[in-house]
Amino acid sequence: MKFTNKEILEAKTAIGGLITERLPVNVSWDLAVIGGKLNSIISCIEPVRQGLFKSYDIYTEASNDGKTVTVNTRLNQERINVLISSSDSIESKEELNVLRNQAQEQVNKFMAELNELMAQEVDIDINVVTIPSKINDKPLEIAGAVLMPLIKFIKVE
């Protein structure tokens, strides 16, 4: 079955949330197998993703060094900071505006490459896992935010 890198990253997080539920052993095992397969692909995605951050001097930690421009773009709910001027402090408003424009261009290029990476498709040999709708005669309650990224990976009985 084909999955995008984005689907793989989102599913891995969701599987982590689902594995904490009290599920039958065979279901937990099947989810763990899928998680292992996703981890092996994520171990290939992550160095490329981190390389993009490094090559564009983009990071998400806050900086008050007077040499860094913050761009009003968010990545996974975090503000993106771009290192543009590493030698001198930014002093004038005009200089700050020029640097912000440069930073925004840099972020746009970064986001285009990141989106390209996330859109790459990978073929993974997985079995769709059937999740029981009831456990011990009680309905299994799973948040929609956990289930949504797992649509291709699981089905509910």
148 Cβ contact partners less than 8 Å away, ≥ 6 residues apart: 14
Query: Over 60: is that where the pLDDT of 92 sits?
Result: yes
The residue ranges of DSSP E strands in 10-98, in sequence order, are 58-59, 68-75, 78-83
**Closest Cα to residue 70, out of 78, 124, 123, 34?**
78
DSSP character at residue 136: T
DSSP string, 39-93: HHHHHHHHHHHHHHHHHTTEE-S---SSSEEEEEEEETTEEEEEE--SSS---SH
Least-confidence region, from 38-47, 66-75, 145-154: 66-75
Q: Where are the domains of the chain?
A: 2-156
Average pLDDT, the chain: 81
pLDDT at residue 105, as a whole number:
83
pLDDT tens for 121-157 read 999 999 999 998 888 888 888 888 888 899 999 988 8
Query: Over 90: is that where the pLDDT of 100 sits?
Result: no
pLDDT tens for 12-31 read 989 988 888 888 999 999 99
Predicted structure pTM score: 0.77
